[in-house]
Chain A
Amino acid sequence: EAQLVESGGGLVHPGGSLRLSCAASGFTFSNYWTHWVRQAPGRGLEWVANIKTDGTEIYYVDSVKGRFIISRDNAKSSLYLQMNSLRNEDTAVYYCARGNGEGGFDIWGQGTMVTVSS
């Protein structure tokens, strides 16, 4: 069964850093674009970033450009999100998701909570 499992969330002070990980299993990770999507408490879904199968194409939402870095290690079937200069408004549940190649996100992790607070 295809599965994604996030880890690395926690409480961090404003200006701090955190690295999220997403471990994939049950499918060939290197064949799929993968994404980070977040959801602030009580709010809707917000796409954060994505990365091509081989890491050669990367896109970010404007609000995280210059602060977040998405990366992947296909040998470890893992996706990462390095989050720097964190702000209160980055507080959210962060999900990793698999792109199905036709515009849909067909596999989602359970999410990991990131809280930015002093």
Chain B
Amino acid sequence: QSVLTQPPSASGTPGQMVTISCSGSSSNIGTNTVSWYRQGPGTAPKLLIYHNNQRPSGVPDRFSGSKSGTSASLAISGLQSEDEADYYCATWDDSLSGHVFGTGTELTVL
């Protein structure tokens, strides 16, 4: 069981904004930065957000990240059909002395 909890599913219609949450604790999100990944079927994960709210080059500004206390969020605006994928948060956990991933959220574009 992961120490980072995400909703198992999320959905939205094209053009809408969707937010995915990631809940942790003081030993992980509360102390360290959060990154977010997208994974399509049968493909490797792709980095979307690092250091809580930074986008790598090439990632559209439709994707944004935030962190408050022991929780983090990924917002996707202007939802597109190609955004259908699984999304994961991740961070370092000081108690475990290791990285941890969230439980994952399957995003459906209706």
Contact = CB atoms under 8 A, between A and B. Distances in A.
Interface of B is mostly: strand
Contacts of A61: 96, 98
A100 B50 CA distance: 9
B45 A44 contact: no
Contacts of B100: 47
Interface size grouping (class) on chain B:
20 to 34
B51 A105 contact: no
Contacts of A103: 32-35, 50-51, 90-92
A106 B55 CA distance: 11
B37 A45 contact: yes
Given A45-B88, A47-B98, A105 B47 contact: yes
Nearest to A111: B44
Contacts of A104: 35, 47, 49-51, 56
A29 interface: no
B103 interface: yes
A104 B88 CA distance: 12
A68 interface: no
A100 B37 CA distance: 14
A80 interface: no
Contact of A106 (B56, B96, B99): B56
